[in-house]
Amino acid sequence: MIVLSGGTGTPKLISGLKQIDEDFNIIVNTGEDYWISGNLISPDIDSVIYTLAGIIDKERWWGIKDDTFVTHEEISRMAYNAKVKGEWMQIGDLDRATHIFRSDLIRENKNKTEATLILAKYFGIKQKVLPMCNEDINTIIKTGEGEMHFQEFWVYRRGEPLVEDVYFRNIEKAKITKEIDRLLKEEDTVLIGPSNPISSILPILSVENFRERLKDKYVISISPIIGEKPISGPAASFMQVKGLEVSSNGVAEFYKDILDVFVVDYRDNMIDKKKIKDIDLYATDILIENDEKSKKLAQFIRNLL
């Protein structure tokens, strides 16, 4: 099975798939990658790697549990003193080691896939963790205050500017990597995890003819929305500007050309079966609040397979 992942909702599910020892490999969004303090942060890849390594901070679903922030705090004091913007993303000391090492590999002309596979090996991960492409793609948010990178919008500006559109800079240059091409040839089942459809999944689907290649596969998706609210993150405003209803109906509509099975929450009273046509619909508990719940959802998916 191939899992398509962003950095929060799907890693929560991946932790369950790992618990039941499911056989899967992961293709990860890199549109949110960002250079800061001299290093390349690849937030979704880091979350997937740390989840599979069992060291993710499960309170925040980013960074390494029990990490310290000594370097970040010192940089912040220096920036305050110099009245400059400074390091506005909180980066843990151990997490930074990953970023420094990744960036050195890239500076030595390794591509993103090679750098990620080297990191995954170091963390003892048996699954393939593959960036969606090797090219640098930037998720850009058009706002009432101008265009900004996703990280500037979401982390630095805390999602406050009014969203007018979302696009992926350079996506026309992105190529399906040979590692992903091989995976697509080998696997018939694709799981689109409960991730932001616009900022986490759409970039992956937009790499060359990736979306087209999913049409003859068995595609299952778990909704990232219960009722009319995403469980976290900016999916609501992003879906709105793309003309989608902010609900599981809207998510199903968005994936309708590729989706075979859609899993929603059993409490979701917004589900309109007339709007989710030609897709097998299942309801269960999709709120992943702890290890037990992520295991249960993973088992539910295994039974669907």
| Choices 2-10, 85-93, 94-102, 103-111 (CB under 6 A): range interacting with ligand GDP | 2-10
User: Is 30 in a helix, a strand, or coil?
Assistant: coil
- Specify the residue, 170 or 232, whose C-beta has the smaller distance to ligand GDP: 232
Residue 232 contacts ligand GDP per CB under 6 A:
yes
Please report, as residue ranges, which positions from 139 to 168 form the binding site for ligand GDP (by CB under 6 A).
none
CA distance readout (Å), 247 to 29, 149, 293: 22, 25, 22
Selection from 272, 292, 268, 201 nearest residue 15 by Cα: 292
Residues 9-28, mask of contacts with ligand GDP (x by CB under 6 A):
xx-x----------------
Residue, CB closest to ligand GDP: 9
- Specify the residue, 62 or 105, whose C-beta has the smaller distance to ligand GDP: 62
CB of 184 to ligand GDP, least distance (A): 21
DSSP string, 155-198: IISTT-SPEEEEEEETGGG----HHHHHHHHH--EEEE-S--II
- Specify the residue, 106 or 251, whose C-beta has the smaller distance to ligand GDP: 251
Selection from 11, 100, 85, 77 nearest residue 48 by Cα: 11
Exposure string over 109-139, b if 16+ CB within 10 A, otherwise e: ebebbbbbbebbeeeebebbbbbbbbbbbbb
Residues 37-66, mask of contacts with ligand GDP (x by CB under 6 A):
-------x----------------------
Pick from 163, 286, 298, 301 the residue near ligand GDP by CB under 6 A: 286
- Specify the residue, 7 or 92, whose C-beta has the smaller distance to ligand GDP: 7
CA distance readout (Å), 21 to 118, 139, 244: 22, 33, 35
CB of 9 to ligand GDP, least distance (A): 2
CB-based contacts of 301, cutoff 8 Å, min separation 6:
13, 17, 22, 191, 220, 222, 263
CA 299 – CA 289 distance, rounded (Å): 16
Total of chain residues touching ligand GDP, rule CB under 6 A = 24
- Specify the residue, 131 or 224, whose C-beta has the smaller distance to ligand GDP: 224
| Choices 95-103, 176-184, 192-200, 268-276 (CB under 6 A): range interacting with ligand GDP | 192-200
Burial of residue 305 (number of CB atoms within 10 Å: 0-12, 13-18, 19+):
exposed
Residue type, 203: P
Pick from 1, 3, 4, 6 the residue near ligand GDP by CB under 6 A: 6
Residue 7 contacts ligand GDP per CB under 6 A:
yes
CA 222 – CA 204 distance, rounded (Å): 16
| Choices 76-84, 114-122, 171-179, 284-292 (CB under 6 A): range interacting with ligand GDP | 284-292
Binding site for ligand GDP (CB under 6 A): 6-10, 12, 32, 44, 194-196, 199-200, 222-224, 230-233, 235, 286-288
